[in-house]
Structure 1
Amino acid sequence: MPTGRPSSPHQWTVLERINILWHKTQPKLAAPAASQNEPVINEEIQTKINAFRAQNPKFVEYLRQLPRERVENMAILRKIEQAEQKERFRQASSVKLEAWLKTSEIATQIAERVATLPAEKQAGARINMIRSAIERQALQQVQSGPKVAV
């Protein structure tokens, strides 16, 4: 049965040999990506979920009996709580960062840099600059090492 290519490698043309070598050296591609509507399955997480389901069958049955709207509301509420927690953390850390800035000589440098930014970016940039200054200061202290008298 003819395949369009001579059966013996000795009869192949140079272009056929190049084509074969090229295909052999190309990295193997993974399976086609799932469509955008299909979620990607993480095997490690799926294993954890399956173990939880096996250990908590009553809870799983409770969730199955809930109306879909109730389950959606629970998921949305979880996202809202995460966003609120993130905001509380940001506010608490920003208070601590501002307190550090009051005791530092870098305050004027940061104020000058922030003044050059658009108004909507100033608050976030200020906090990021303070964090970076603290990290630099801590790194300098670690790199210089403890002072040892000789």
Structure 2
Amino acid sequence: MQRISSCYFKSLSKNLFNLNNSLIRFSSTSNQETIRIPKNPLTDKHSASFQPDNGAIYDKKPFKMVCEKGKKYAWCLCGKSKTQPLCDGTHKSIFLKIKIRPVRFEVDETKEYWMCNCKQTGNRPFCDGTHKQEHIQQAVK
């Protein structure tokens, strides 16, 4: 019998969870609600979306924000912006030596979106539930 490491399971579960157009099911005592995770249409056009590193954990819960169709936004990935979840240019400071750039995005329809504030999401810039992992919950008190 081959032994499989816990890192493999974490990676596998994250990859399964972050599939494009995946569904999240939230269950409550009264009903079940299915929510489609939005996809950033600018992902293929902006290389910052594919940065391998994640930023500093800013918060352990997402931020609900109204985004307008056709408007371009810059989501803070470094976790140092004072205008979270959007970028304010803090990453440009030569003293902080931050190599991570913001992720540019736009949405297909005007409505409220859950923006990732833990900066660990696999569906940048939208929350995919990664903040629920134990190491993220323990990182921010």
TM-score by length of 2: 0.23
Structure number with higher strand proportion: 2
* Larger of the two Rg values belongs to structure: 1
Structure number with higher helix proportion: 1
